[in-house]
Chain A
């Protein structure tokens, strides 16, 4: 047997193994999508159907329009989830904007200005990434209570920023190191103020890193559960992640609604994966800290 044949065999074997690995990694996501189209009766039967059994849109109807599809579940649906989707979107967008507003100028200061605090501050950012969210959540709840920000959008957005701000500053700073100093230098010589240099030179050149950070901050805000759970305790609005949790119920999950709401929660991640894959891969290897 020649070496070439052996090599070809190894290649196709690798493909096979990779296919199995990818199938295992994607199966949970596949199963929630299939389940979201099953009827409540099917979901509560003792058999899982690997392929759609009697596909129906009833669960999506329940989740998006708030109408219960007349089958034997005792779970009541509180209003429709379109409001939840909107709330999630507002929180995610707010988190992205807050993160950019804080981290872009800070990263610039830490990369291109000689400040005494730089070492200390970068060290603090590295440590901030380690702090578990639940540790922050208990005290932030008390602090937001005092500042009357409990059950408000700004309150939960400030909390969600803890996922993305330290990460954003570090990623942007690493990127800004790469910009030649001559650019800022010549802008200054031409009479640009520090702010103008930042706005007209630095921001446009850092666009790709800014998009990376924005995508991550958006996904962090969209997927947040801890801070929504702790700071929106009794608010008139809640994000989709809390909606899913309430469908789980105390005793018996309303699987149809859980599955459909779960798929809805997956949509932005899927969309961003397709349109911003390059940025996501960059962010991941930059040592993203999530959760």
Chain B
């Protein structure tokens, strides 16, 4: 993940101590005099990224807050002098039944997706930890769904879950699991479940890959010791393996959460939010409000709810990424 071949190498600014082999006194003198030149170069290397982050992230987020307090239409969205709306957009949003249900759907969709992705991903990761013929091929094929453009995944699942002529119904009826074809995407009670299933399929490769690489780090002696102590496979998993890979499980859930709350393409491709808004998520309803009803104010208010939901995990995310932050103090360590 992070290579650190040069972990112990001295930093440019303090090579004058004489411990670093190969750095002569003259070299360090030259560098010290060039220290401010170097700092300037560092800033110049960083400038495009700063400009980009300001333009493509900071500005839109600030602008979104501004939009949420304005009465915007397509004719005023580009201008600053749109009429001020106070909290109108927020009260409108919280009284909007579709927005309310979109928030609930997003929650159900996210929890269901993560649970399914974790259970299937961990099972596959455990499976791939065994040695068996075809293991390498199977492991690399499992990541293929990850590479499919999301809108394509959406249309494939829409096709497979059709009531008439859909592969899923045909398999289920053929094997006798159900008697009559189910209208998976056309009935309000099944549609959210169906898009959740599609999203589980989408996220399994990610969970499998991350959990698999974590399992490789579990020392064999620990597992053997547990086996000698008479622990059965379930106990070994629950009491030995999972506690050891817990940090990776945490970060995987966190990233999975971040992916899932922003799912958009998949649902647009499968249902467009229907039937009767049964699969309307925060993201899809925000799009509909903004780009189809040109109610940019309420869309922005809803976006802010989504942003807050996504950022709820930010402190935990930064905590788990503290290695990357800690290494910020400069070159080498």
CB within 8 Å of B: which residues of A? 10-12, 14-15, 17-19, 21-22, 25-29, 31-32, 35, 43-48, 50, 101-103, 105-106, 108-115, 117-119, 121-143, 145-146, 158-159, 161-162, 165-166, 169-170, 173-175, 177-182, 184-186, 188-189, 194-195, 198, 219, 222-223, 225-226, 229-230, 233, 241, 244-245, 248, 253, 255, 258-259, 262, 265-266, 269-270, 272-273, 277, 280-281, 284-287, 289-291
Q: How far is the CB of B101 from chain A (nearest CB, A)?
A: 17
A135-B64, A177-B2 are known contacts. Are A291 and B263 too (CB-CB below 8 A)?
yes
Is the CB of B193 closer than 8 A to any CB of chain A?
A: no
Q: How far is the CB of B31 from chain A (nearest CB, A)?
A: 6
Q: How far is the CB of A275 from chain B (nearest CB, A)?
A: 13
CB within 8 Å of A: which residues of B? 1-6, 9-13, 15, 22-23, 27, 30-31, 34, 37-39, 41-46, 48-50, 52-53, 55-57, 59-61, 63-64, 67, 77-79, 124, 127-128, 130-135, 138, 140-153, 155-160, 164-167, 170, 201, 204-206, 209-210, 213, 251, 255, 258-259, 261-265, 268-269, 283, 286-287, 290-291, 296, 299-300, 303-304, 306-307, 310-311, 313-314, 317-318, 321, 324-325, 327-332
Q: What are 27 A-B pairs with beta-carbon distances under 8 A?
A: A28-B153, A29-B145, A31-B156, A32-B155, A35-B159, A45-B165, A103-B49, A109-B45, A109-B46, A121-B46, A121-B50, A124-B57, A127-B311, A130-B313, A132-B264, A132-B283, A132-B303, A133-B262, A135-B61, A138-B60, A140-B60, A162-B57, A181-B10, A185-B27, A241-B151, A245-B151, A291-B264
| Cβ-closest chain B residue relative to A263 | B152
Please measure, in the bound complex, the distance between the C-alpha atom of A167 and the C-alpha atom of B130, giving whole angstroms. 32
A113-B42, A114-B330, A225-B268 are known contacts. Are A11 and B133 too (CB-CB below 8 A)?
yes
Please measure, in the bound complex, the distance between the C-alpha atom of A21 and the C-alpha atom of B135, giving whole angstroms. 12
Please measure, in the bound complex, the distance between the C-alpha atom of A186 and the C-alpha atom of B142, giving whole angstroms. 45
A128 and B57 contacting across the interface, CB-CB below 8 Å: yes
Please measure, in the bound complex, the distance between the C-alpha atom of A198 and the C-alpha atom of B259, giving whole angstroms. 34
| Chain B residues within 8 Å of A230, by CB | 287, 291
Chain B, interface SS category: helix
| Chain B residues within 8 Å of A280, by CB | 143, 147
Please measure, in the bound complex, the distance between the C-alpha atom of A277 and the C-alpha atom of B307, giving whole angstroms. 33
Contact of B46 among A45, A106, A179, A259 (CB under 8 A): A106
A138 and B64 contacting across the interface, CB-CB below 8 Å: yes
B52 and A26 contacting across the interface, CB-CB below 8 Å: no
| Cβ-closest chain B residue relative to A233 | B291
| Chain A residues within 8 Å of B151, by CB | 223, 225, 241, 244-245, 265
A131-B307, A138-B67 are known contacts. Are A122 and B286 too (CB-CB below 8 A)?
no
| Chain A residues within 8 Å of B287, by CB | 134, 137, 226, 229-230
Q: How far is the CB of A190 from chain B (nearest CB, A)?
A: 10
B48 and A102 contacting across the interface, CB-CB below 8 Å: yes
A285 and B133 contacting across the interface, CB-CB below 8 Å: no
A17 and B201 contacting across the interface, CB-CB below 8 Å: no
A105 and B2 contacting across the interface, CB-CB below 8 Å: no
Please measure, in the bound complex, the distance between the C-alpha atom of A222 and the C-alpha atom of B166, giving whole angstroms. 28
Please measure, in the bound complex, the distance between the C-alpha atom of A287 and the C-alpha atom of B317, giving whole angstroms. 12
Contact of B6 among A28, A101, A180, A266 (CB under 8 A): A180
| Chain A residues within 8 Å of B269, by CB | 244-245, 248
